[in-house]
Each structure stands twice: as C-alpha cells, then as structure tokens.
C-alpha cells in the first residue's frame, strides 16, 4: 500500500489491546496503518502468541537483561529505527522508556492508560493497581485514555478518553474488565486510525482532532 504506516506495538502481558488492534486491522479499521512488528519486554507474554497466530513479526527485548533504563531505552530505540516504525503503540507495555526514545519518536508514540488521566496515573499506576486505587478513592466514574508518550510518565498530550461507570461491588478485576471492553479496546484502535489518517494535530500539550 502506498503511504502505508508501519505500526510497532510494544507489549508486556496478555495482549488484549494488541488483539483489539489486530481485529480492527482485519476489519480495515486502521486506515493506512499496518502492524508490522510486536516487541515484548517479557519472554512469556501471551501477546507474543497472539502476534504469531496472526502472522505478525515478533521480537523480544527483555527488560531484566539490561542493568538500567538508559541502556534498555537505547536498545529499544535501535529496534524501532530498524523496524522503520511510523507509529509506536504501547499496548500494556509496562516499562518507562527515557527521553532517548521519546525524543527520537516525538508525537509518534501513543499509550493506552486504564484511567481518566490526570487521575490514577504516573509512576506505579499500571495494570490492576490503577483500578485498586480508583476503588479505594471511591470514584463513581473511571475510564481509559490514549495519549502521546513523553519522557514524563502518562503526561503527554491526550488524544482520546472514554468514561466508564464504576458499579457497586466492583473489584479491581471486574472494573478492569469493564474498562477494557467498554473503553480501551475501542479508543485505542480509533486513535491509531486517527493518527494514520493524519488527523491529529498537537498544539503544545493539547491535541486537536480534525475529523
């Protein structure tokens, strides 16, 4: 495809968000985007199996093989350059990369976070911890956010958000499942498409979506 956008997806775990992207791609919903490689920070991530089952190239860059974030980030930057990534999607990727990567791919990396940023985000807020904190605070609404990645964790310009109701009796697990189903698996593919169609403009810390 002319002007095809090469999407590299970074994962660390189960990969349900990756699956949502694969399903969207199969339905032609990623526009000119194509998932060309999946990179995992963990060797046993089920996300790798999902990629393989769909004929997508996989690579692993194991976090614990590197002594610090700087050397891990440098190795990741090399992989992303090698893969000629036009867009990098953090889909349940649990490692914070430094400015070496974020500056090299400014406004080309996006992350899905399982809360309405700026609530329940930043260092330490990942996976079930996020939902546990939301329930402890007693919020009645949570949700998901897709945003550009910057060197500051969860602080980059917001692209899309979707609210999800918190229900009485929710556990971190039930809330996580509802937020994934009702928000993450929808807004992540939508944001990828908007990016690939060139419809996102960044003005400082704010994005504008040109429909």
Nearer to ligand GAR among residue 72 and residue 126 (C-beta): 126
Query: At how many degrees (to 10) do helices 185-196 and 16-26 cross?
Result: 50
Distances (CA, A) of 47 to 5, 12, 109: 21, 7, 19
Distance CA 83, CA 71 (A): 19
Residue from 5, 42, 77, 113 in contact with ligand GAR (CB under 6 A):
113
Q: Catalytic site residue 113?
A: yes
Site membership for ligand GAR, residue 130 (CB under 6 A) = yes
Nearer to ligand GAR among residue 127 and residue 132 (C-beta): 127
Site membership for ligand GAR, residue 15 (CB under 6 A) = yes
Q: How many residues bind ligand GAR (CB under 6 A)?
A: 16
Nearest approach in angstroms of CB 84 to ligand GAR is 24
Strands, DSSP E only, in 124-205?
141-148, 158-165, 200-203
Site string for ligand GAR, 174-193 (x = CB under 6 A): ------x---x---------
Site membership for ligand GAR, residue 172 (CB under 6 A) = no
Nearest approach in angstroms of CB 178 to ligand GAR is 11
What strands lie across the sheet with 141-148, from one edge to the other? 58-60, 33-40, 5-11, 87-90, 109-113, 141-148, 158-165, 206-209, 200-203
Nearest approach in angstroms of CB 210 to ligand GAR is 26
Catalytic residues: 113
């Amino acid at each position: 495809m002319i002007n095809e956008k090469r999407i590299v997806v970074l994962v660390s775990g189960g990969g349900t968000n990756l699956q949502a992207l694969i399903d969207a791609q199969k339905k032609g919903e990623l526009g000119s985007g194509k998932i060309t490689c999946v990179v995992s920070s963990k060797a046993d991530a089920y996300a790798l199996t999902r990629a393989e089952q769909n004929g997508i190239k996989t690579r692993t860059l194991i976090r614990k093989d590197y002594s610090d974030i700087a050397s891990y980030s440098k190795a990741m930057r090399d992989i992303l350059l090698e893969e000629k990534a036009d867009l990098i999607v953090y889909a349940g990727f649990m490692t914070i990369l430094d400015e070496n990567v974020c500056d090299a791919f400014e406004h080309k990396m996006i992350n899905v976070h399982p809360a309405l940023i700026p609530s329940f985000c930043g260092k330490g807020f990942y996976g079930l911890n996020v939902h546990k904190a939301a329930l402890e605070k007693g919020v009645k609404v949570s949700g998901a956010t897709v945003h550009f990645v910057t060197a500051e964790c969860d602080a980059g310009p917001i692209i899309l958000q979707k609210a999800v109701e918190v229900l009485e009796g929710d556990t971190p697990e039930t809330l996580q499942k509802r937020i994934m189903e009702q928000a993450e698996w929808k807004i992540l593919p939508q944001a990828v498409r908007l990016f690939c169609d060139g419809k996102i403009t960044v003005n400082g810390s704010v994005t504008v979506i040109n429909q």
